[in-house]
Amino acid sequence: ETVVNRIAAGEVIQRPVSAVKELVENSLDAHSSSVNVVVKDGGLKLIQVTDDGHGIRYEDLPILCERHTTSKLSTFEDLQSIKSMGFRGEALASMTYVGHVTVTTITKGQLHGYRVSYKDGVMEHEPKACAAVKGTQIMVENLFYNMSARRKTLQNSADDYSKIVDLLSRFAIHHTSVSFSCRKHGAARADVHSVGTRSRVDAIRSVYGVSIAQNLMKIEASDNDLSSSVFKMDGLISNFNFVAKKITMVLFINDRLVEWTALKRALEIVYSATLPKASKPFIYMSIVLPPEHVDVNVHPTKREVSLLNQEVIIEKIQSLVESKLRNSND
Ligand code: ADP
Ligand code: MG
């Protein structure tokens, strides 16, 4: 059974960056205002995520890393209206099958926290009382220690580290009221360092640099045309002055970081038709839709989002971006 669980876990956690994404989303679900990430060897040696969120109750610790343990879903109907990012109760469990997980946490009003380690879904020992300030710290060590083929294919740690930096940069520019940092273990300087409670443009400047931030145009839309449901979009898109090595599309739908290849391709086409020089644009977009219109990614490996009225939404955004670019060019 352990082998089967390990294989399943390896599907949920495909690379170090997938573990970081799950951990940071848990921190955001816990209403943290600060999330700090430390990484060693591209995440294979160590991933450590520290937050100042609401913490985990003592009585939840024994089952925390069992599969399908979640505090975010009580009925099947909740699946349709889920607002939090995590809901499968699979991420932490999976990590314990492919790495060594240690949780340190304290809840509000407690005098001390608890620390406990997990292996293959279960606690390795009773939670130990320890000093703790506020929130939760989760450490994942020796990821894929029991999957040697996976470890080998992931040996380019620089590549994985840059994926993690990219991920944190994306979270930082959407969740502007949350402070984020990401650094290599032992490094004095953080590679992502974003202080909360500031404007989106300021956040973009601090993580993506001045040259991107100073060339952004605001874009907005909202209506109830889409089969009488409400659709809201706001974003910041680069104008003609900006040329990057590749397109950067940061997309959040209902506050979840997602990939939507069809929209990305559609916007690339608009850019190369309207502004050939800016064929590698920077695009940040946040879309809000009724939750029941968004496929909630029941399968954890499915990064790609799927929506009702996809074509309508894509066309709408496409023409908005096009007119914005044309106006800026005149
Ligand atoms: P899910 O997020 O899908 O519920 P996870 O396996 O990611 O499942 O996490 C399991 C549970 O552990 C969560 O539902 C939550 O109650 C708790 N948890 C995990 N990380 C944190 C955190 N950083 N702060 C508070 N609670 C957490
Ligand atoms: Mg989760």
The interface pTM score, or ipTM, of the predicted complex is 0.99
Point out the ligand 1 atom lying closest to the alpha carbon of residue 53. Answer: 24
Write down the mean pLDDT value for the chain: 87
pLDDT score of 297 more than 70: no
Whether 316 is in the pocket of ligand 1, judged by its Cβ within 6 Å, is: no
Least confident of 1-5, 93-97, 295-299, 325-329: 295-299
| DSSP code for 143 | T
pLDDT score of 228 more than 50: yes
Average pLDDT over residues 2-29: 91
Pocket test for ligand 1, best of 58, 65, 71 (most atoms within 8 A of CB): 71
pLDDT score of 298 more than 70: no
pLDDT at 84 (0 to 100): 47
Q: In terms of Cα–Cα distance, which of 36, 53, 52 is closest to 187? A: 36
Pairing between strand 256-257 and 192-194?
unpaired
Pocket test for ligand 1, best of 70, 88, 106, 299 (most atoms within 8 A of CB): 70
Structure tokens at 304: 């790609």
pTM of this structure: 0.91
* CA-proximal residue: ligand 1, atom 20 (nearest): 26
Which residues are placed with Cβ below 5 angstroms of ligand 2, an ion?
Answer: 26, 86, 91
Average pLDDT over residues 99-111: 96
Surface-to-core class of residue 321, CB atoms within 10 Å of its CB (0-12 exposed, 13-18 middle, 19+ buried)? buried
Cα separation, 16 vs 312, in Å, equals: 36
